[in-house]
């Protein structure tokens, strides 16, 4: 059982809970996930199975979300799961007030993660420090937000704006909700969150736990192969003799044109589409060399 599972995470489970459940269902020990989702969030959670856990770092990093932001509320966690700090009617807000401010979040920005998050400061998780009541300065981080698109506006005492967000890795949607509320001087929290895309996996192709169990019982579950999950990376194909040397960890002379940057990761296959691992072309005195980054037995 090697490859990937595009899981549709249900509400109420942590990402770690999902990994544990997949271990039990598939009866394998080596399972990992990419891109943590909060328990209240739903949607795409990429799961790696078996040796494919070594490939998690090479998956695409872009993500997309559908989020509802509620205005007029502040909480300790920047979502509806935390303790309410302030609640005050924001009925005077209109979509016209919100639209110009959303554009402030697009592009490369500095973002302060929520105090209740898994980021480590001096070796400790922020949420552990927060639960212990310790004051800590949360460091800013650089994130990239490609687009924010408004899907709906619900007026009322505590109006909600529903948005679609395309962003890079490490972006906290809770921070966007909090900071939008700060701009508006009303407070804001994340009311709901669904991840619609992660690491190249789409919500439309994801499996719920119920569907996964049905497929397992009927013998119809097949993991997503590395070739599909890593299709954003260029591929190199080796003849049998060179493939044998590759599996032994040897660096191979490479005479063909370079694939872009010398730091770029490349898929390596034996002719016949047997996945062998991840390589990198490097320059030497004798020309280019295909150097192993990660060697697999054929998957």
State the pLDDT at residue 122: 67
Residues 31 and 151 in one domain: no
What is the arithmetic mean of pLDDT over 96-118? 91
State the pLDDT at residue 262: 60
Residues 102 and 180 in one domain: yes
Nearest to 156 by CA among 252, 245, 224, 91: 91
Counting other chains too, the contacts that 287-291 makes at CB distance below 8 Å and 24 or more residues apart are 287/253, 287/254, 287/255, 288/253, 288/254, 288/255, 288/258, 289/251, 289/252, 289/253, 289/254, 290/236, 290/246, 290/251, 290/252, 290/253, 290/254, 290/266, 291/251
Low-confidence winner among 41-45, 127-131, 196-200, 250-254 (lowest mean pLDDT): 127-131
Residues 210 and 192 in one domain: no
> Is residue 44 over pLDDT 90?
yes
Burial classification of residue 98, based on how many CB atoms lie within 10 Å of its CB (0-12 exposed, 13-18 middle, 19 or more buried) = buried
State the pLDDT at residue 287: 77
Instruction: Identify the CATH number of the domain in which residue 242 sits.
Output: 2.30.130.10
Residue 38 annotated among the catalytic residues of the structure: yes
Question: Cα 243 vs. chain centroid, distance in angstroms?
Answer: 32
Residues 67 and 127 in one domain: yes
Per-residue confidence band for 137, with pLDDT thresholds at 50, 70 and 90: confident
Residues 155 and 213 in one domain: no
Phi and psi of 189, rounded to 5°? -140, 160
- This prediction has a pTM of 0.89
Residues 145 and 78 in one domain: yes
* Of 198, 214, 242, the domain-final residue: 198
Burial classification of residue 70, based on how many CB atoms lie within 10 Å of its CB (0-12 exposed, 13-18 middle, 19 or more buried) = buried
Residues 47 and 174 in one domain: no
Instruction: Identify the CATH number of the domain in which residue 215 sits.
Output: 3.30.2350.10
Per-residue confidence band for 63, with pLDDT thresholds at 50, 70 and 90: very high
Residues 100 and 154 in one domain: yes
Exposure string (b/e) for 18-56, b if CB count within 10 Å is 16 or more? bbebbeeebeeeebbbbbebbebbbbbbbbbbbbbbbbb
DSSP string, 56-94: GGGS---EEEEEEEEESEEESSSBTTS-EEEE---TT--
Boundaries of domain holding 250? 233-295
Per-residue confidence band for 285, with pLDDT thresholds at 50, 70 and 90: confident
State the pLDDT at residue 133: 67
Residues 83 and 192 in one domain: yes
Give the tens place of pLDDT for each residue, 227-280: 899 999 999 999 999 999 988 989 988 876 656 556 689 999 998 888 999 999
* Of 227, 244, 268, the domain-final residue: 227
Per-residue confidence band for 9, with pLDDT thresholds at 50, 70 and 90: very high
DSSP string, 192-219: EEEEEEETTEEGGG-B-HHHHHHHHHHT
State the pLDDT at residue 41: 96
Nearest to 136 by CA among 144, 125, 151: 125
State the pLDDT at residue 283: 82
State the pLDDT at residue 298: 57
> Is residue 286 over pLDDT 70?
yes
> Is residue 296 over pLDDT 90?
no
Helices (H), the chain: 15-26, 95-102, 126-131, 173-184, 209-218, 226-229, 240-247
Residues 99 and 212 in one domain: no
Total domain count, the chain: 3
State the pLDDT at residue 272: 80
Residues 34 and 128 in one domain: no
Per-residue confidence band for 132, with pLDDT thresholds at 50, 70 and 90: low
Name the catalytic one among 38, 78, 79, 179. 38
Please state, rounded to an integer, the average pLDDT across all residues of the chain. Answer: 91
Residues 222 and 265 in one domain: no
């Amino acid at each position: 059982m090697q490859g990937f599972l595009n899981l549709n995470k249900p509400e109420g489970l942590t990402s770690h809970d999902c990994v544990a459940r997949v271990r039990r269902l598939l009866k394998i020990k080596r399972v990992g996930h990419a891109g943590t989702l909060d328990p209240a969030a739903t949607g795409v959670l990429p799961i790696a199975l078996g040796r494919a856990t070594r490939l998690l770092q090479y998956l695409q990093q872009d993500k997309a979300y559908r989020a509802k932001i509620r205005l007029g509320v502040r909480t300790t966690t920047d979502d509806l799961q935390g303790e309410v700090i302030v609640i005050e009617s924001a009925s005077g807000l209109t979509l016209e007030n919100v639209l110009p401010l959303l554009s402030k979040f697009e592009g490369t920005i500095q973002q302060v993660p929520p105090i209740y998050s898994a980021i480590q400061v001096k070796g400790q998780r922020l949420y552990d420090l927060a639960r212990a009541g310790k004051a800590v300065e949360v460091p800013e981080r650089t994130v990239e937000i490609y687009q924010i698109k408004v899907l709906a506006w619900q007026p009322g005492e505590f109006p909600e704006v529903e948005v679609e967000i395309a962003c890079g890795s490490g972006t906290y949607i809770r921070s966007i909700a909090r900071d939008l509320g700060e701009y508006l001087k009303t407070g804001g929290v994340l009311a709901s969150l669904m991840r619609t895309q992660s690491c190249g996996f789409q919500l439309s192709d994801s499996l719920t736990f119920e569907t996964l169990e049905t497929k397992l019982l009927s013998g119809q579950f097949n993991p997503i192969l590395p070739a599909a999950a890593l299709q954003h990376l260029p591929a190199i194909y080796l003849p049998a003799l060179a493939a044998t040397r590759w599996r032994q960890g040897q660096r191979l002379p490479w005479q063909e044109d370079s694939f872009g940057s010398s730091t770029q990761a490349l898929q390596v296959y034996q002719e016949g589409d047997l996945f062998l691992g991840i390589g990198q072309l490097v320059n030497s005195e004798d020309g280019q060399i295909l150097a192993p980054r990660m060697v697999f037995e054929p998957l």
